[in-house]
Structure 1
Amino acid sequence: MKVHKAKRVEITIEAVMERRLTEALERVDVTGFTILPVSGGSGRSGKWSREGQVSSAAGMINVVCIIRPERLNTLLDAAFDILDRHIGVVNVTDCEVLRAERF
């Protein structure tokens, strides 16, 4: 079976920024993404956990996108406009997909 090169972008950001981030992605025609809750972690500010939060909005989410390599910079520019002023981490990895027409 033939595989095609793609990029997997994971953006971890405060849950309250979900709508702003997804709208920014959609404005640059990134319409395929998955949003996952983040239950906890540790970073520059120390350890944190979703448990004990007053609301789920105080937590973090992970937005995962798989895109064609030539679209990467457009996605990153849109995401950075949101992340520049907020807590967030972006990582990009190479991946392969089976159905390139979907990305």
Structure 2
Amino acid sequence: MIETVIRKRIEILVDSPLVRRVTDAIDKAQITGWTVLPVTSGSGRDGRWREERVMGTDKSLVLTISSVEKAEVLVDTLAPMLTSHGLLLTMWDVEVIRGERF
């Protein structure tokens, strides 16, 4: 059987204009990679919403996987933005193959 290791998967829902700040924070935490996906609609505490490029309120989902230590650095860096910019950050354990890549 192939050996796996535990890493942290982090997903950050962010207004698209702020994606660069989030990816810069990922880079600063020395996490080796990230992916940005467009998000077209959703529902939350404030109700339903849809992508609105005209108003500049479209959202993106930033995904990354890292070691526990690097994940903690990222969360500490982004913590002030969670409230001030309404980011939604989720993090959980995942099993990965080739753990040295993360």
User: How high is the TM-score relative to the length of structure 2?
Assistant: 0.88
Equivalent residue, structure 2, for 1:54:
54
- CA–CA separation in structure 1 for the residues paired with 2:57 and 2:17: 7
SS, match of residue 66 in structure 1:
strand
Superposed structure 1 runs of 4+ greater than 4 Å apart: none
Q: Structure 1: where are the runs of 5+ without partners?
A: none
- CA–CA separation in structure 1 for the residues paired with 2:68 and 2:100: 13
Equivalent residue, structure 1, for 2:38:
37
Deviations 1:1-57, CA, capped at 9 Å, x for gaps: 10011110100011110111111221221231111111110112210111x5416x4
Equivalent residue, structure 2, for 1:102:
101
SS, match of residue 85 in structure 2:
coil
User: How high is the TM-score relative to the length of structure 1?
Assistant: 0.87
SS, match of residue 91 in structure 1:
strand
SS, match of residue 29 in structure 1:
coil
How many residue pairs end up in the alignment?
Answer: 101
Residue 78 of structure 2 is aligned to residue 79 of structure 1: yes
Q: Structure 2: where are the runs of 5+ without partners?
A: none
- CA–CA separation in structure 2 for the residues paired with 1:99 and 1:29: 18
